[in-house]
Amino acid sequence: MRIPPGVRDWLPQEFAFKREVEERIRDVFHSWSYSEVLTPTFELYEALEQGLGELMAETFRFTDPNGAALVLRTELTTPIARLVAARLRHATLPLRLCYLANAFRYEEPQLGRMREFTQAGAELIGAAGASADAEALFMAVETLDAVGLDDARFDVSDVAIVDGALAGVGLVEEDAQLCKEMIARRNLVALREFGSTHAVEERRFERLLELTMMRGRDDVLRAVEPICVTEASQAALTRLSEILARAAALGWGERINIDFALLRDLRYYTGLVFEGYIADLGFSICGGGRYDALLPRMGYNVPAVGWMVGVERILLALERRRKDERPRNEVDVLVSGSDAVARRERAKGLRVRVDARGLDRAALLEYARDKEIPRVILVHGGREEEISEVPR
Amino acid sequence: MSEPLVIALPKGALYDEAVRRLGAAGVDVPGEVGRRLHVLAGDGATELLVLRSNDVPAYVEFGAADCGIVGKDTLWETDRSVSELADLGFGECRLVVAARRADGYHEGVRYPTFLRVATKFKRAAQAYFAERDVPCEVIALHGSVELAPLVGLADAIVDLVATGATLREHDMVVVDEIARSSARFVVNPVRFRTKYDALTGLLSRLQRA
């Protein structure tokens, strides 16, 4: 009995582990006073088309018996933007919403990339500026800390800074867009070739190449400052240096770097962009940024910043570190011979296993030893016998 | 000591020069690698994975290797997200459309209304003909592509050409150049950050070498 490629079963122990990680993520979301929401697993194609763009090619699409075109959600930000634009338009801003749900993408299944996966994330809607940006980034740091990845590092950039630098080199419109794509992929070869086949100011273009390879903190800000000619990019530099200073004050100075070329999805982000990763995985675990253009496309003119983390990617990272951890016991007490006693124990909040096979005393104790159940209660002829510390 | 730097090297045409460049950059690859696929370099701080060239992008994308040397021709055929940091300037060759001299396509004879093209570079070939609105069927082969037009399997081929000797031997000519390839230094986007100093250091030594 097969299952299709790109999806998986979760067996009890794996699933318990996943739930535990998810609960820790939820705890962080709640500690930042975010409210959890959930949108439908599938929606009308036309409702999500606005926000998805390139992702549309990766959607699972189908039609209902009336011919309506439907898609499985590929992520949660667009559906939540839709929800906010349609249902929460009169709610007081800013809104702080979070989610933890599965999403679906039709792509080649491989390590860290499944066709069904779980995303947790948070959206801060209706707030612009460094404080809102910092909130998204700091929540992400605390979330990875909470699940046990306190060695995770974060790189940040700002789309406006890259735009400002491109304008400073004299690149506009199509040329700027082309170069931005090359910068996002950190394709130095293509950038160099572009520089040698187009009329660019050589010294400044050389600077752009250097920046694309640059990663650091205040040194990157200082290096990029002189070629950022637009007001928006200067404002972004100020925001970024404020965020870095605030992170340093929290003791995260070493963990957060600026990577000029970090742009993620070009079509989507409009300001801050960040990614979190650990040294032993070759792909990022979480990411996010400012997406001020999405809600306006849905008719609601408010800014927004958000981020998400791939739950399976966290599990992948943790798996490698907790190889020798023993599975936890799942039962607190084993009860035989009385529904009422079992119910009484459940009411105490214990995990109770009821003997379903009518085992005799010796077999019950053997079972308890085998499953590492610390207490056994036997009820026989109205008499209750309790054995704690089941002998080995 | 810190984590070793893991470099993916392609077997085949680029291997010898890649090893020579690495040596000049201070990473000594043992001369006798033989059948071993995983070797420690002379500096003790670098590990080398010797792979089929087609596999280099996958190893680098997933971070099984931090970086690698691979021909651009291999990158054309994959969607793997690796950062292409430098053209190392060796292993140069051209991807071309070629056909039998007798067919005269190189002299302006029009392609048949439905062109059959044999190639090892399916994606590059499809992209090239799609861009020019030439209806065609691409026949994916794994080697000896030059044979296809001679035995009537295809009207033309898309293949790499270094000196052109193989084409001449089969009485074939270049119809058009699609692109130029050479060896590239590629890195994993996350390792670029976590091993920034080691990787940028190696890159600048490779570029001087």
- Judge: A213–B85 Cβ closer than 8 Å, yes or no: yes
Q: What is the CATH number of the domain that holds A47?
A: 3.30.930.10
* H or E element that contains B183: strand B183-187
Q: Determine the residue among A183, A188, A265, A286 to mutate to test chain B binding: the one whose Cβ has the most chain B Cβ atoms within 10 Å.
A: A188
Residue B29 pLDDT greater than 90, yes or no:
no
Helix (H, G, I), strand (E, B), or coil: what is residue A354? strand
**Which of A119-123, A199-203, B34-38, B168-172 is predicted least confidently?**
B34-38
Give per-residue pLDDT as tens, B119-157.
999 999 999 999 999 999 999 999 889 999 999 999 999
**Interface check A192 vs B, CB under 8 A:** yes
Q: What is the CATH number of the domain that holds A342?
A: 3.40.50.800
Yes or no: say if A333 and A377 are a contact pair by the CB < 8 Å rule.
yes
A392 domain residue, yes or no: no
A290 domain residue, yes or no: yes
**Interface check A111 vs B, CB under 8 A:** yes
Q: Number of folded domains in chain A? A: 3
For residues A148 and A297, membership in a common domain is answered with: yes
The count of other CB atoms within 10 Å of the CB of residue B26 is 16
Q: Please give the Cα distance from B46 to B26 (Å, whole number).
A: 10
Tell me, rounded to whole angstroms, the distance of Cα A132 from its chain centroid. Answer: 18
For residues A205 and A315, membership in a common domain is answered with: no
Q: Please give the Cα distance from A106 to A83 (Å, whole number).
A: 24
Residue B42 pLDDT greater than 50, yes or no:
yes
For residues A235 and A290, membership in a common domain is answered with: no
A358 domain residue, yes or no: yes
Give per-residue pLDDT as tens, A312-354.
999 999 987 876 566 667 899 999 999 999 999 999 999 999 9
Under the banding of pLDDT at 50, 70 and 90, the label for residue A48 is: confident
Tokens describing residue A360: 């005799």
Domain final position from A311, A329, A347: A329
Under the banding of pLDDT at 50, 70 and 90, the label for residue B30 is: confident
A269 domain residue, yes or no: no
For residues A174 and A43, membership in a common domain is answered with: no
Tokens describing residue B33: 């690698």
Domain final position from A252, A267, A302: A252
How do strand A69-72 and strand A42-44 relate by DSSP bridges?
A: antiparallel
For residues A291 and A243, membership in a common domain is answered with: no
For residues A9 and A121, membership in a common domain is answered with: yes
Q: Please give the Cα distance from B158 to B111 (Å, whole number).
A: 14
Q: Please give the Cα distance from A148 to A146 (Å, whole number).
A: 5
For residues A184 and A227, membership in a common domain is answered with: yes
Give per-residue pLDDT as tens, B74-121.
999 988 889 999 999 999 999 999 999 999 999 989 888 889 999 999
A192 domain residue, yes or no: yes
Q: Return the residue of A nearest to B194 by Cα.
A: A279
Domain final position from A211, A234, A252: A252
Angle at Cα A179 formed by Cα B55 and Cα A205, nearest 5°? 110
Domain, as residue range, for A205: 155-252
For residues A142 and A13, membership in a common domain is answered with: yes
**Which of A314-323, A376-385, B194-203 is predicted least confidently?**
A314-323
Residues in chain A: 392
Q: Please give the Cα distance from B34 to B20 (Å, whole number).
A: 16
A303 domain residue, yes or no: yes
Q: Please give the Cα distance from A16 to A327 (Å, whole number).
A: 10
CA distances from A103 to A14, A71, A108, A367, B126 (A): 19, 11, 15, 40, 32
Under the banding of pLDDT at 50, 70 and 90, the label for residue B33 is: low
For residues A295 and A170, membership in a common domain is answered with: no
For residues A12 and A116, membership in a common domain is answered with: yes
Q: Please give the Cα distance from A392 to A355 (Å, whole number).
A: 20
pLDDT at B35: 65
- Judge: A282–B196 Cβ closer than 8 Å, yes or no: no
Under the banding of pLDDT at 50, 70 and 90, the label for residue A200 is: confident
pLDDT at A110: 82
Average pLDDT over residues A237-261: 95
**Chain B residues 83-122 with a CB less than 8 Å from chain A:** 83-87
Residue B27 pLDDT greater than 60, yes or no:
yes
* Torsion angles phi and psi, residue A232, rounded to 5: -60, -40
ipTM for the complex shown:
0.86
pLDDT at A264: 86
A265 domain residue, yes or no: no
Residue B7 pLDDT greater than 50, yes or no:
yes
Under the banding of pLDDT at 50, 70 and 90, the label for residue B1 is: very low
For residues A339 and A311, membership in a common domain is answered with: no
**Interface check A185 vs B, CB under 8 A:** yes
For residues A161 and A247, membership in a common domain is answered with: yes
**Interface check A283 vs B, CB under 8 A:** yes
Give per-residue pLDDT as tens, A150-179.
999 999 999 999 999 999 888 888 999 999
A19 domain residue, yes or no: yes
Closest of B84, B81, B73 to residue B158, by C-alpha: B73
pTM: 0.89
pLDDT at B96: 96
Q: Where are the beta strands (DSSP E) in chain A?
A: 35-36, 42-44, 61-63, 69-72, 95-104, 116-125, 153-158, 215-216, 256-259, 272-277, 286-290, 304-310, 333-336, 352-354, 375-380, 383-388
